[in-house]
Amino acid sequence: MTTNHVKRAFKYRFYPTDAQAAELSRTFGCVRKVYNMALAARTEAWARQERVNYNQTSALLTTWKKTEELAYLGEVSSVPLQQALRHLQVAFTNFFGKRAKYPRFKSRKKSRKSAEYTTSGFRFRDGRITLAKMAEPLDIRWSRRLPEGASPSTVTVSQDAAGRWFVSMLCDDPAVQPLPATDAAVGIDVGLTHLLTLSTGEKIANPRHERRDRIRLALAQRRLAKKAKGDGANRARARRKVAKVHARIADRRRDHLHKLTTRLVRENQTLVIEDLTVRNMVKNRSLARAISDAAWTEFRSMLEYKAAWYGREVIAVDRFFPSSKLCSHCGTLAERMPLHVREWTCGCGTTHDRDVNAAKNLLAVGLTASVCGAGVRPQRSTPGGQSATKQKTPRREP
């Protein structure tokens, strides 16, 4: 019986030669050009109530290469150009499936610079990768080993706003296997003062990565603002310095979240979180910076895919569930609970830490949902002593 291994991306920094950097920069530009032209062609066809699929855009690419104006498209590897058309096809599939908005054009300045190579576009031998149209292998810094005997199925080369070059290899990872089942379950309440509060009573501090580098970031941004607008070298250097500070913040934040989510997934079989709409929450100007720095969406994403890897379950409870106002001991629902109230005492005499109480309630309703197969709120009492009826809570599947 064959085992289905998890496909996992392994990302490394590399340092290209001048010739490699020039070739990759040309490839990035051609990928963006082909994507935008194909999107324009499909949009025009859509206006005529026609649909253009991947095969038709591939035929268009062949035609474009034969023209004098776009002959330069034939000077780079054709593999990343075909992959760009496939990515556009996926974008339209998601749009028609109502899972995403209509695809947008790629900007020269704002879009991510990347090119994806399939097996026909690179050679992997003796732990060295050589891309099509290049004579020398990439100078990669192997910060960790690839799985034993692994061979990449795709290789994605990218350059971030800070000017750093990365290569990402998609490989089968046989080491990712379901962990032994456990009875442990935990409710997780996210916050700003404390990044996470667990139903066990543990509180995990918020590192506030952005705040630690705020002075350095503000200085770099002020220097950038003083540069004349345009494509000048001075402005480009100043922009890169701002990007380096942002990259430093993002790297530290990502590293911390990886360690945290890995630990939670290893220790618990069931993890219950709140289904927050972060997109709406960041519209609050006074809290937007702190919420963005906390990266709740990235935390949830990591938690969900690692749970899928290791055979764990993540349950998202409806955001309208009153986890903070509900007494986890007797089930009484408080009428009001302003944000500044961090501790409160229920009529039953139980004193609650607001965040710990919320985490306990999330765990209770999450376990109920898991057993019943639907998001069912636990029975609770109103302040007047009357029992509230069970209400079904919509739950988004993780």
- Judged on CB neighbours under 10 Å (0-12, 13-18, 19+), 176 is middle
Give the separation between CA 81 and CA 31, rounded to whole angstroms.
5
Give the separation between CA 17 and CA 13, rounded to whole angstroms.
13
Give the confidence band of 337 by pLDDT, cuts at 50, 70, 90.
confident
The answer, yes or no, to whether residue 283 has pLDDT greater than 70, is: yes
pLDDT digits (tens, 9 = 90+) for 149-193: 889 999 999 999 999 999 999 999 888 889 999 999 999 999 888
Give the separation between CA 304 and CA 309, rounded to whole angstroms.
9
Q: H-type helices in the chain, by residue range? A: 18-47, 54-65, 78-96, 209-212, 214-226, 233-267, 278-281, 288-294, 296-310, 354-372
The answer, yes or no, to whether residue 384 has pLDDT greater than 90, is: no
Is 274 a known active-site residue? yes
The answer, yes or no, to whether residue 338 has pLDDT greater than 80, is: no
Q: Which of 290, 93, 307, 319 is nearest to 210 (CA)?
A: 290
Q: List the structure tokens of 115.
A: 């090119």
The answer, yes or no, to whether residue 57 has pLDDT greater than 60, is: yes
Q: Which of 189, 275, 293, 318 is catalytic?
A: 189
Highest mean pLDDT (candidates 37-41, 125-129, 291-295): 37-41
Q: Report residue 105 CA to chain centroid gap.
A: 21
pLDDT digits (tens, 9 = 90+) for 3-12: 567 889 999 9
Is 213 a known active-site residue? no
The answer, yes or no, to whether residue 272 has pLDDT greater than 80, is: yes
pLDDT at 370: 64
Percent of the chain residues past pLDDT 90, beyond the cut: 61
The answer, yes or no, to whether residue 383 has pLDDT greater than 70, is: no
Instruction: Please tell me which residue, 384 or 353, carries the higher pLDDT value.
Output: 353
Q: H-type helices in 145-275, by residue range? A: 209-212, 214-226, 233-267
Contact present, 323 and 280 (Cβ < 8 Å): no
For residue 118, the SS3 value is: strand
Q: Which of 274, 293, 304, 318 is catalytic?
A: 274
For residue 201, the SS3 value is: coil
Q: Which of 116, 275, 318, 355 is catalytic?
A: 355
Give the separation between CA 155 and CA 121, rounded to whole angstroms.
9
Q: Which of 241, 254, 336 is nearest to 299 (CA)?
A: 254
Give the separation between CA 167 and CA 232, rounded to whole angstroms.
28
How many angstroms separate the Cα of 189 from the Cα of each of 43, 159, 271, 320, 347?
A: 43, 35, 11, 14, 23
Give the confidence band of 372 by pLDDT, cuts at 50, 70, 90.
low
For residue 113, the SS3 value is: strand
pLDDT at 133: 93
Element containing residue 301 per DSSP (H, E): helix 296-310
For the chain, give the mean pLDDT. Answer: 87
Mean local confidence (pLDDT), 364-391: 52
Instruction: Please tell me which residue, 373 or 80, carries the higher pLDDT value.
Output: 80
HSE of 65, CA atoms in CB hemisphere, 13 A: 15
pLDDT at 260: 96
Is 126 a known active-site residue? no
Contact present, 390 and 338 (Cβ < 8 Å): no
Instruction: Please tell me which residue, 340 or 148, carries the higher pLDDT value.
Output: 148
pTM score, two decimals?
A: 0.83
Where do the domains of the chain lie? 6-173, 185-204+265-388
Give the confidence band of 379 by pLDDT, cuts at 50, 70, 90.
very low
The answer, yes or no, to whether residue 398 has pLDDT greater than 70, is: no
Instruction: Please tell me which residue, 128 or 2, carries the higher pLDDT value.
Output: 128
For residue 146, the SS3 value is: coil
